Structure 1
Amino acid sequence: MGINLNPFTWWNGATWGTIIGLSGKTRVGEDTLGNVYYEGGKDTAGNPRRWVIYDGPNDSSRIAPEWFSWLHHQVDDVPERALPAPRAWQKPAVPNLTGTALAYRPPGALEKGGHRAAATGDYEAWTPEP
């Protein structure tokens, strides 16, 4: 969006106040989507405060699952050290694609032409017995 809107819009990324507030905090890692994670200070319960600076629009679905658990204090250490290595069958995290050209469109959706396969006739509606 540019430097002119940054001081006024929080939905486009970190504002100047957030960037200044992170001075003195420790950068602990970065995920595959480019988000950067910080830790520093304590909250009222004595837990360390944790932040994410999004690489792009502020959208919580853009946080990888392993970093989500770190942000919410489900694991104590950064995911690389606290969690086991990903399994071979696990897919990488993707953000919510609703509203984009890559969103899922089922057969028959208007965006895919609005035509769906004809019914096969194997459906029998339920009717209550008298």
Structure 2
Amino acid sequence: MGLNLNPFTWWNGATFGTWMGLRGKARVGEDNLGNVYYEGGQDPNGIPRRWVIYSGSNDASRVPPEWFSWLHHQIDSAPDQALPAPKSWEIPAEPNLTGSQLAYRPSGALEKGGHRARATGDYEAWTPGA
């Protein structure tokens, strides 16, 4: 189609209205997925407002835990300043893969043939009054 739908659709990223609303707001940082974080203004309780502009589809599971903490005012400054460096054994956060080709599907799932192994002898059905 060739038409840029970004000004009209919110599910593909920030709309034109969102970008206009971010004028004058401070860019705080960017995560390893390319999401950009902003802060500026205050809500009626005096708490600073914070935003994330997603790189790609708008999916809240694509916000890493350290930036989630910042967005929800659990830490005051950007994660690279407020949190210790990641440990060598930590694995990077992954977005929710449900509904994608990479989603977990157990052996009995319809996508894997719908057949599962028969129960062994370790299961005993519950019977009322037994």
Q: Fold-level match, TM-score > 0.5? A: yes
Question: Where do 1:48-127 residues align within 5 Å?
Answer: 48-127=48-127
CA distance in 2, matches of 1:59, 1:109: 25
1:43 CA drift (Å): 1.6
CA distance in 2, matches of 1:22, 1:119: 57
1:79 CA drift (Å): 0.6
With normalisation by structure 1, the TM-score equals 0.90
- What CA deviation, in whole Å up to 9, does each residue of 1:47-104 have, x standing for no partner? 1111100001111111111101100111001011111222333221111111100001
Using a 3 Å threshold, how does the CA distance of structure 1 residues 40 and 3 change in structure 2: closer, same or farther? farther
One-letter code of the match for 1:105? R
Provide the residue aligned with 1:15 in structure 2: 15
Question: Where do 1:41-52 residues align within 5 Å?
Answer: 41-52=41-52
With normalisation by structure 2, the TM-score equals 0.90
- In structure 1, runs of 5+ residues without a counterpart are none
- In structure 2, runs of 5+ residues without a counterpart are none
CA distance in 1, matches of 2:12, 2:76: 29
CA distance in 1, matches of 2:73, 2:3: 33
One-letter code of the match for 1:25? K
1:112 CA drift (Å): 1.1
1:127 CA drift (Å): 2.8
Secondary structure of 1:20's match?
helix
CA distance in 2, matches of 1:128, 1:87: 51
Aligned residues: 130
